Structure 1
């Protein structure tokens, strides 16, 4: 599986939102996940970041930040050379051994742990408290909450659709009802056909998908350097989504990162799903 997708999958496996705070505001931060970088820039603290990891590519300025590692681990000598006064780590995303080494060196640590979309504002405010950008963070958190409620209201009570979310094509993977991707589907007023799967990100077969008869197939667009083999859905016309050509492409960087931009991806997906809803409505 491509490294980029590994980062995205890791971002989907987190379970709450929590930061450990230091008594003084840091001026040299290392951020060990793409979503942490995005959120720091969003609250006006991006200029404090002196180091980060692979695929931290938004906003454009983030591409100029020195890299100290990635999903496979971090290089401690690079961390030390950057002389950080705070490292914000991704709990359950970064290697525990790396975190323990950072602690042993006496480097202040803060944690980001996240799953529920409704916790994005909490993450923003905690980052604001850490960096001295609380006012801007609170303003952004309020804006996020308002847009979240607007999307819920826009699609509440609409006729539902049976939807298959193709998290990854090879091996074929999807998401169950305990993830924030499922939460975004709920926001759009549709049914996740694999909501009852036993694991959060199950590997499934084409036969499993055929048996579920989804009306829409959602395909996230990845920025992986090497694209995996794509599923040739057109062969399986017994699937309603295939028969009616109801495929939706969405931006994985928006939907799979626990950042302020997530709702842009949700709105885009919901709008496209609503177009499919209208398509099927006209055929009834």
Structure 2
């Protein structure tokens, strides 16, 4: 009991010391311009980590979140956060000059950092077009504007080519399954819903008021989609108990690479193309 109290005491003292250090230096940091090159960057989401490495800022990234696994170099970096929480002591000890967080999802979590004078950039692309803009913004933050502009241009060119390739294709009704327990889907405001639409698919949950609605199997059966999409065959297996469903009867249970399609990154066009090619196979049957 005594040892536990001592550990808690010293942990609090360490945190107070680190906070004091940041308070003393915050005035100096506040003098920096908003676009000053950040040399010590912490990423708090996998898609952010990918973007930073893609624009050439990988060597400036000093820590990431638990889920950042691409590129391989990111796997060797310290982990200071998960989706819902920060290791504040470890993060402050690393003395970042820029923390990149995931929009509204992490805003409340990182607000104390802003109050300490640490620069925070919020990543919040909601459309494919906005991702190109955000790549350029990160380029300004990290001093890699030239490479960021090149990456953004290549990304936008791939998207334009996909739109040209799949514009006017015959419609395919799709149920996009995000999770199986509970059964979850995505409406057309999400990245996955936008991808289905770009590929000429008709998302049966497109107009759901929730971005990621929880649904039941009966709702899907009533819509009888021509294809069901999920990340793995295991997640699709439970649909086999309804062999009369169109997607099951025609063997149109489609898998995609979730890392490519569920993360908004310069690799997203590869995931979209994979989905489009899968839906093209479904079209052949009609």
- Report the TM-score, using the length of structure 1 for normalisation: 0.86
Q: Does 1:58 align with 2:64?
A: no
Cα distance in 1 for partners of 2:240, 2:120 equals 49
Q: Is the 8 A contact 2:230 2:236 kept in 1?
A: no
Give every structure 1 segment of 4 or more consecutive aligned residues whose post-TM-superposition deviation is greater than 2 Å.
Answer: none
Give 1:84-95 correspondences, 5 Å limit: 84-94=96-106
1:272 is paired with a residue whose SS is: helix
Distance 1:236 1:61, change over 3 A: same
1:199 is paired with a residue whose SS is: coil
Structure 1 residues 230-270: Cα deviation after superposition (integer angstroms, max 9, x where no partner): 65111102210001111110011111111111111000110
Q: Which residue of 2 aligns with 1:243?
A: 249
Q: C-alpha displacement at 1:196, in angstroms?
A: 2.1
Q: Is the 8 A contact 1:210 1:238 kept in 2?
A: no
Cα distance in 1 for partners of 2:211, 2:156 equals 26
Q: 1:214 aligns with which of 225, 240, 249?
A: 225
Q: Does 1:81 align with 2:93?
A: yes
Q: C-alpha displacement at 1:148, in angstroms?
A: 0.3
Q: Is the 8 A contact 2:101 2:107 kept in 1?
A: no
Q: C-alpha displacement at 1:217, in angstroms?
A: 0.7
Cα distance in 2 for partners of 1:86, 1:234 equals 49
1:35 is paired with a residue whose SS is: helix
Distance 1:230 1:216, change over 3 A: closer
2:205 is paired with a residue whose SS is: coil
Q: Taking CA–CA contacts closer than 8 Å with sequence separation of 6 or more, which of the two structures ends up with the larger relative contact order?
A: 1
Which range moves more in the overlay, 35-44 or 174-183?
174-183
Give 1:81-230 correspondences, 5 Å limit: 81-94=93-106, 96=108, 98-221=109-232
Structure 2: runs of 5+ lacking an equivalent: 1-32
Question: Aligned pairs, how many?
Answer: 254
Q: C-alpha displacement at 1:112, in angstroms?
A: 1.1
Cα distance in 2 for partners of 1:85, 1:197 equals 40
Q: Which residue of 2 aligns with 1:18?
A: none
**RMSD between superposed Cα atoms in Å:** 1.6
Structure 1 residues 38-73: Cα deviation after superposition (integer angstroms, max 9, x where no partner): 001001101100111011000000001100010130
1:51 is paired with a residue whose SS is: strand
Cα distance in 1 for partners of 2:223, 2:39 equals 52
